[in-house]
């Protein structure tokens, strides 16, 4: 199993149109067949010192293996998402894990 988690910080988090556009772009990624499980969300209302809630959106995608993840990276839907939405974020942080 290959778990791909990405956090996004918007350039203008107060702008609802930007929030909606990024959310729509993230949702479009769910249509990629190599993804076996997909979660898209926003920070939970939990406040403890160890929790980073500074991001605006996160996604967690589970793939069967690294090859499936690698196909996702070059999939036309993913490439279109990056092209259409990258102007919306100021920072992206990725964490990949295998089990």
91: in domain? yes
Burial 49-73 (b: 16+ CB within 10 A, else e): eeeeeebbbbbbbbbeeeebbeebe
Over its length of 99 residues, how does the chain's per-residue pLDDT go in tens digits? Answer: 999 999 999 999 999 999 999 999 999 999 999 999 999 999 999 999 999 999 999 999 999 999 999 999 999 999 999 999 999 999 999 999 999
Domain that holds residue 14: 2-43+55-98
CA distances from 64 to 10, 40, 72, 98 (A): 30, 18, 11, 10
pLDDT at 2: 98
* Number of domain units in the chain: 1
Q: What is the pTM of this model?
A: 0.94
The secondary structure of residue 11, as a DSSP letter, is: S
Q: Is residue 94 part of a domain?
A: yes
33 assigned to some structural domain: yes
Q: Determine, yes or no, domain membership for 74.
A: yes
CATH code where residue 23 lies: 3.30.70.100
Evaluate whether residue 50 is within a structural domain.
no
C-alpha angle 33/86/37, rounded to 5°? 25
Question: Is the residue at 49 inside a domain?
Answer: no
């Amino acid at each position: 199993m290959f778990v791909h988690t990405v956090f996004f910080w918007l350039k203008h988090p107060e702008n609802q149109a930007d929030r909606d556009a990024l959310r729509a772009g993230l949702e479009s990624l769910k249509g990629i067949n190599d993804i076996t499980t997909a979660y898209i969300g926003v920070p939970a209302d939990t406040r403890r010192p160890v929790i980073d809630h500074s991001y605006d959106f996160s996604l967690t995608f589970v793939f069967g293996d690294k090859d499936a993840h690698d196909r996702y990276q070059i999939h036309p839907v993913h490439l279109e998402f990056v092209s259409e939405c990258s102007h919306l974020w100021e920072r992206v942080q990725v964490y990949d894990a295998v089990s």
